[in-house]
């Protein structure tokens, strides 16, 4: 099994002797900044003038500055602005102030792996990527545990990049849960493949296809919604807690038999072939190129598809049904 790193493997001095600028205060940023600070790290938050996150960070008791000011007074920078904004931010507000031996840190490998950011040779470049949304990274830290994380070293100028990465992972609570070493290539390509083929693209199309099939056959759309979307959570919770075997143990034998008989007819050889094509496009940088171009041209395809998706009948029926689910957070 892959080696896991835990708190005992991390020497906290490597991050405590640094001043860390957390750039961005969104999902990941707020969790990293608060967790590091409460772990005893000297932290400053970097934001732009007029950012709605600014007041929030101040209210949370953090020191906040413009990005370039934060970079100037720090020697480790965690870049937590949206991936498509990182390249411009790096060029304008980080690169001009980099000093030899600084640490440039990411929570996702996209910009380094696809050469949208090319740092000078005399800085460390590494990743600490929690495997969970920022709000969970924060909540579990407060509860005294943590979300697992991946670390990867792209460039090791000081010879200490991995030590600093492990210390950082400890500071956000991730070393309590376990840290796995990966590469920028592996993290980036698997992350994109997973969200496209399985987690986001795969799941939403599967749900819609099931919903449409039932509704077109004359079944009530409310019933179709419950069966194809709402119940997904119950199944995913079982998968998360105990894998496929736990899910299959918990559902009825009828459901388990149907699973074995039908699953491969839905996700068939054609689907697997297509997944291989999708992966190849990611590996060759075709997906990255398209997404970068989208952002350079004002996101024409992205916006058109977003508008189209909200027209699907499952959106409206879901809105109405969730009104009645008083236990859901609004
Ligand atoms: P969010 O969109 O939640 O937050 C972005 C933050 O950056 C906001 O505080 C925003 O401020 C600020 N910001 C935007 N533009 C600028 C700018 N030009 N200068 C300074 N600050 C700016 O991002 P995420 O936390 O989701 O993502 C950050 C990174 O973490 C990405 O690399 C992502 O891939 C990675 N990641 C995200 C995970 C997640 O669960 N969300 C999981 C693992 C990794 P304002 O809102 O005021 O505009
Ligand atoms: Mg992703
Ligand atoms: Mg059922």
Pairing of strands 4-5, 19-23: unpaired
Task: Specify whether 108 is catalytic.
Answer: yes
24 and 131 co-located in one domain: yes
Q: How confident is the model at residue 311 (pLDDT cuts 50, 70, 90)?
A: very high
Could you tell me the CATH number of the domain that includes residue 57? 3.40.50.720
187: in domain: no
**Considering the chain, what is the average pLDDT of its residues?**
97
Q: How confident is the model at residue 195 (pLDDT cuts 50, 70, 90)?
A: very high
156 and 239 co-located in one domain: no
155: in domain: yes
CA–CA separation, 112 vs 240, rounded Å? 31
Q: Which among 108, 113, 135, 230 is annotated as catalytic?
A: 108
100: in domain: yes
CA–CA separation, 32 vs 39, rounded Å? 10
From 21, 22, 23, 26, give the residue whose CB has the most ligand 1 atoms within 8 Å, as the site to mutate: 26
Cα 233 to its chain centre, rounded Å, is 19
37 and 174 co-located in one domain: yes
Cβ distance 87 to 117 under 8 Å?
Answer: yes
60 and 121 co-located in one domain: yes
294: in domain: no
In this model, does residue 327 exceed pLDDT 90? Answer: no
192: in domain: no
127 and 204 co-located in one domain: no
Last residue of a domain, one of 156, 182, 208: 182
pLDDT of residue 275: 98
Give the helix ranges, DSSP H, for 98-252.
110-113, 134-142, 161-171, 174-177, 184-193, 201-216, 221-225, 232-250
Residues 18-56: tens digit of each pLDDT? 999 999 999 999 999 999 999 999 999 999 999 999 999
143 and 236 co-located in one domain: no
- Of 82, 120, 127, the closest CA to residue 105 belongs to 127
Q: How much is the average pLDDT of 299-328?
A: 96
Q: Which residues pair with 181 in a beta bridge?
A: 151
Tokens linked to 231: 């119940």
248 and 174 co-located in one domain: no
Rounded to 10°, the helix 27-38/134-142 angle is 20
- Using DSSP's 3-state secondary structure scheme, residue 181 falls into strand
pLDDT of residue 330: 64
> Structural domain of residue 141, as residue ranges?
4-182
pLDDT of residue 298: 97
91: in domain: yes
Asked whether 48 lines ligand 1 (CB < 6 A), one says: yes
CA–CA separation, 130 vs 120, rounded Å? 26
43 and 176 co-located in one domain: yes
From 21, 24, 174, give the residue whose CB has the most ligand 1 atoms within 8 Å, as the site to mutate: 24
Q: How much is the average pLDDT of 71-94?
A: 98
157: in domain: yes
Considering the entire predicted model, what is its pTM?
A: 0.94
Cβ distance 31 to 172 under 8 Å?
Answer: yes
């Amino acid at each position: 099994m892959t080696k896991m790193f835990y708190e005992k493997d991390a020497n906290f001095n490597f991050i405590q002797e640094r001043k860390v600028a957390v750039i961005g205060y969104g999902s990941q940023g707020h969790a990293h900044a608060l967790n590091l600070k409460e772990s005893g790290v000297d932290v400053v938050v970097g934001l732009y003038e007029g950012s709605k996150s600014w007041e929030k960070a101040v209210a949370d008791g953090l020191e906040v500055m413009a990005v370039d000011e934060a970079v100037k007074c720090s020697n480790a920078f965690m870049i937590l602005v949206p991936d498509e904004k990182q390249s411009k931010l790096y060029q304008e507000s980080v690169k001009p102030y980099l000093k030899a031996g600084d640490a440039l840190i990411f929570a996702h490998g996209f910009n380094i792996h696809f050469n949208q950011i090319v740092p000078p040779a005399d800085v460390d470049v590494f990743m600490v990527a929690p495997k969970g949304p920022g709000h969970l990274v924060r909540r579990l830290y407060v509860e005294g545990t943590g979300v697992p994380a991946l670390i990867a070293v792209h460039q090791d100028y000081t010879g200490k990049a991995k030590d600093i990465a492990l210390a950082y992972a400890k500071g956000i609570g991730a070393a309590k849960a376990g840290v796995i070493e990966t590469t920028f290539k592996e993290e980036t390509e698997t992350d994109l493949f997973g969200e496209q083929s399985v987690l986001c693209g795969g799941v939403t199309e599967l749900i819609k296809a099931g919903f449409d099939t039932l509704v077109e056959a004359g079944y009530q759309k409310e019933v179709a919604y419950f069966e194809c979307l709402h119940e997904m959570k119950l199944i995913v919770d079982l998968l998360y807690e105990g894998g496929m075997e736990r899910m299959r143990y918990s559902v009825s034998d009828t459901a388990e038999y149907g699973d074995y008989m039908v699953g491969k007819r839905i996700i068939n050889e054609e689907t697997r072939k297509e997944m291989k094509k999708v992966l190849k496009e990611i590996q060759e940088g075709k997906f990255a190129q398209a997404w970068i171009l989208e952002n350079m041209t004002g996101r024409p395809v992205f916006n058109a598809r977003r508008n189209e998706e909200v027209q699907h009948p499952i959106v409206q029926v879901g809105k109405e049904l969730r009104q009645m689910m008083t236990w859901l957070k609004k």
